[in-house]
Amino acid sequence: MTKRPRTVRRSRGAAEVDELIHIASSLSLSCTLAEDRFWQDKLVDLLEEIIADEDEDTLNSALDTLSKTDPQAWNELADLVEACTETQSVIINKQECQTVLFAVPLLAWSRFNIPSGPLGDERAQHLRQHLSEQVFAKGVHLSLADFLFSPDQLPQGYCNTAKLSKMLAKLTAENGTLACEQASSAEPAAFLTDTRYLLGAIAAPKGQALFRWQEDEGSTRKEVLAQWQKQGLSSLQSLFAGCAMESLLPVSYFAAWRESDRASRGYSLRATVSFLQLLLNIEARQLTCIIAACHGKRLEEYRVGFIRRNEEPMLHGVVWPLLDGEDEHTECIAEIETILRESGITDIVIHEHTFPMDQCDDCGNPLFPNLDGDLLHIETPENNDTPSPHLH
């Protein structure tokens, strides 16, 4: 009796995986807008059913298969999985509206703990006001999660993200606030630099603008970001006391997540230079940076070690992971070098040979290259006012 349902579920999942792959592949081969829409509608219908059933395994199986066999079809499927996860439909004032889950990534660094947790009613209200006035289109309905999320506190997987998206979507009609006490159970890890996220949902009638830059004669994305950084972040200053913090552009959830991954790499380099200058009371030009390419089965990341000139101890290190679409031909080293020089570093050493992705056997932290080509553990100098943070 217990085996038959499991067999049925497994074969049903396999059939849905095959169907997802077939439709996504067909969409990738389409050559007309009309055919695009035909396959997109079929794919959306199936994805909405799978997400409603909370069948994360089917989504991941189809994506994993296509990532190895058909990258173009993988892109089509991934785009629509994300769209179905972060986009909902609601009725507001007897009118059908489309909602989008959005995120505001906040990059921060501190010698102390970077905050996370509940925002509080007053702060949430101020943030909602600034977002409405500076980021989103006029007349857009807005709900906000009353929580500052660390990466570990974000919903895991597409189905859990869709649940949060639906909860926030329901609150857009009343411009409500979602209490998220359950997120506080995951204690964020301590890093020198990390990202925090504000989450919410926006709603507007289908076909109408959601963001300020979509409006006729509206501001550009760059102008919107500048205005948000100038005025909107004032509500967070007290929460981020003792931290340096900057915001990225508020956009849809998955786009914000990807952009924060990209932006946090350079931010971590700049933060490390500032941290070591403050900790050691030195100028940036007194530091040496060593860059090494680290391989698993392929190039996975670059590691940047920081030492004082003519001294041995590894003071700190930054991991620069490769993102989707990047490989050994991407000019990551040039980008790393540019950021370091802009931060005041003049002595930069780039190892020509590759390194393994070695970690400390005791603590699991990555090891970083020195001048001789050895991978070493970080030995951050002791400071009574400074914890020993690890770089994200």
At residue 182, the pLDDT reads 58
Backbone dihedral region of 220: left (phi > 0), alpha (psi from -120 to 50 degrees) or beta? beta
In this structure, the strands spanning 193-205 and 316-321 are unpaired
Domain hosting residue 298, numbered range: 282-376
Over pLDDT 70: what percentage of the chain?
92
Query: Facing residues of 69 across strands?
Result: none
Closest residue by Cα to residue 28 from 61, 63, 60, 75: 75
Its pTM stands at 0.89
Residues 89, 54: Cα–Cα separation, whole Å = 18
- 168 and 53 together in one domain: no
Rounded to 5 degrees, φ, ψ at 158 are: -65, -40
* Other CB atoms within 10 A of residue 217 CB: 4
Rounded mean pLDDT, 121-148: 95
- 101 and 222 together in one domain: yes
- 210 and 334 together in one domain: no
At residue 112, the pLDDT reads 87
Residue 388 included in any domain: no
- 82 and 97 together in one domain: no
At residue 234, the pLDDT reads 87
pLDDT digits (tens, 9 = 90+) for 251-310: 999 999 999 999 999 999 999 999 999 999 999 999 999 999 999 889 999 999 999 998
Rounded mean pLDDT, 25-29: 97
At residue 81, the pLDDT reads 98
Helix axes 33-52, 157-171, angle to 10 degrees: 90
- 205 and 329 together in one domain: no
Lowest mean pLDDT among 182-196, 257-271, 280-294, 376-390: 376-390
- Burial track 295-334 (b if 16+ CB lie within 10 A, e otherwise): eeeebebbbbbbbeeeeeebbbbbbbebeeeeeeeeebbe
At residue 361, the pLDDT reads 80
- Both tokens of 48, joined, read 């909405």
Structurally, the chain folds into a number of domains equal to 3
Check whether 185 has a pLDDT greater than 70: no
- Both tokens of 100, joined, read 């989008």
- 109 and 247 together in one domain: yes
- 135 and 215 together in one domain: yes
User: First CA to last CA across the chain, in angstroms?
Assistant: 49
Check whether 50 has a pLDDT greater than 90: yes
* Other CB atoms within 10 A of residue 66 CB: 23
Residues 122, 133: Cα–Cα separation, whole Å = 17
- 137 and 170 together in one domain: yes
Rounded mean pLDDT, 306-322: 93
Closest residue by Cα to residue 278 from 198, 376, 173, 389: 389
Give just the sign of the alpha carbon dihedral 231, 233, 236, 238: negative
For every residue of 159-184, DSSP letters joined together read HHHHHHHHHHHHHGGGT-EEE-GGGG
- 106 and 214 together in one domain: yes
- 221 and 114 together in one domain: yes
At residue 67, the pLDDT reads 94
Rounded mean pLDDT, 300-323: 93
Residue 123 included in any domain: yes
Run of H or E including 6? helix 3-29
Check whether 335 has a pLDDT greater than 60: yes
Run of H or E including 42? helix 33-52
Q: Is 280 exposed, middle or buried (0-12, 13-18, 19+ CB in 10 A)?
A: middle
- 101 and 68 together in one domain: no
| CB-CB contact of 211 with 136 (8 Å) | yes
- 148 and 247 together in one domain: yes
In the sheet that holds 287-295, the strands lie side by side as 316-321, 299-308, 287-295, 347-356
Residue 177 included in any domain: yes
pLDDT digits (tens, 9 = 90+) for 212-246: 999 988 789 999 999 999 998 888 988 999 999 99
